[in-house]
Amino acid sequence: MSSSQDKPVLIVDGKRLDGRMPGDIRPAKIEANVLKNAAGSAYIEWGNNKILAAVYGPSEALPKHTSNPERAVIKCRYQMAPFSSLEEHGRSGPNRRSIEISKVIKEVFENVIITENFPGSEINIFIEVLQGDGGTRAAGVTAAAVAVATSGIPMTDLPYGVSIGKIGDLIVIDLNKIEDNYSDADVPIVISPRTGKILLLQMDGDMTREEINKGMEMAAKAGEAITKLQVDALKKQYIEISKKYKNEAPSFTPPAQK
Ligand code: CDP
């Protein structure tokens, strides 16, 4: 969020510049299991965001001092590709923003992955933003949740992310980059839909309690559609796997009855 003297007009006749109503999310699609060498993976396109998520592990936690004999440790790296936006991302490795986003996403997955099942091991979650247009941490978590699910690592729920925010007095959800830049508030959230628990909430700008509640209601409604996208991507993957095995399975002729 930033304020500027020459703030662009973001709302025209109650609609946003891309034609959306305040509670609409951008068109999104998710594909599960897109990388052969990862334990689990997913690709998401959400508006102009294009993000790959990959999961490796569980494997022995290394270096040793990072391991926990009681449970798996989650490691997360969120990164924007050098070509992902007009801003410079190529020169140095992790920056303050990507370190922060990696940390908060790691905490999301610590709360849903059943880590006690894998003592002494580590689970690595990688989120690579190929193209960024606002809301990449929310979209990244949404894809990473599908990637973890495809890896078979058990979770208590399939979390999803979406941002809520404020443009003037109007409460909106799923802000794109220009809205994010010139909004009065941008609040990325991650929700565990089964329990309704909030797993991530960061706030840039100010919103009152009432405004947040209104945004949360809009997010929960949109969340049903996001969860459906995640679940459909997972189901599609299993249908494809079962088709593959059906075709490859040796034909079986039952022994003749005596
Ligand atoms: O992506 P998200 O909304 O979670 O994070 P943000 O820090 O609020 O950034 C908003 C958007 O600005 C990102 O999605 C990127 O498109 C862009 N951005 C960027 O390209 N480079 C940065 N160093 C920071 C932001």
Are the CB atoms for 74 and 123 separated by under 8 Å? yes
Task: Report CA(135)–ligand 1 centroid distance (Å).
Answer: 7
Q: Tens-of-pLDDT digits for all 258 residues of the chain?
A: 544 467 899 999 999 999 999 999 999 999 999 999 999 999 999 999 999 999 999 999 999 999 999 999 999 999 999 999 998 888 878 999 999 999 999 999 999 999 999 999 999 999 999 999 999 999 999 999 999 999 999 999 999 999 999 999 999 999 999 999 999 999 999 999 999 999 999 999 999 999 999 999 999 999 999 999 999 999 998 887 777 777 776 666 777 776
CA pair distance 88, 81, nearest whole angstrom: 9
Distances 178 to 21, 28, 46, 229 between C-alpha atoms, Å? 16, 18, 15, 25
Using alpha carbons only, give the angle 211, 179, 132 rounded to the nearest 5 degrees. Answer: 120
Are the CB atoms for 184 and 215 separated by under 8 Å? no
**Which pLDDT score, from 0 to 100, does residue 54 have?**
98
**Which pLDDT score, from 0 to 100, does residue 88 have?**
84
Ligand 1 atom, smallest distance to 177 CA = 11
**Which pLDDT score, from 0 to 100, does residue 251 have?**
65
**Which pLDDT score, from 0 to 100, does residue 258 have?**
65
Task: Report CA(137)–ligand 1 centroid distance (Å).
Answer: 8
- Residue 161, ligand 1, Cβ within 6 A: no
Are the CB atoms for 40 and 33 separated by under 8 Å? yes
CA pair distance 189, 203, nearest whole angstrom: 9
**Which pLDDT score, from 0 to 100, does residue 169 have?**
94
**Which pLDDT score, from 0 to 100, does residue 99 have?**
97
Using CA positions, which residue lies closest to atom 3 of ligand 1? 135
- Residue 137, ligand 1, Cβ within 6 A: yes
CB neighbour list of residue 257: distance below 8 Å, 6 or more residues apart = none
Are the CB atoms for 79 and 128 separated by under 8 Å? yes
Using CA positions, which residue lies closest to atom 10 of ligand 1? 134
DSSP 108-124: HHHTTB-GGGSTTEEEE
Domain chopping of the chain, boundaries:
16-237
CA pair distance 72, 57, nearest whole angstrom: 10
**Which pLDDT score, from 0 to 100, does residue 249 have?**
64
Looking at domain 16-237, does it have CATH number 3.20.20.80?
no
Ligand 1 atom, smallest distance to 188 CA = 4
**Which pLDDT score, from 0 to 100, does residue 250 have?**
61
Task: Report CA(256)–ligand 1 centroid distance (Å).
Answer: 66
- Name the E strands within 33-169: 40-46, 49-60, 73-80, 121-131, 160-167
DSSP, collapsed to helix, strand or coil, labels residue 237 as helix
- Residue 188, ligand 1, Cβ within 6 A: yes
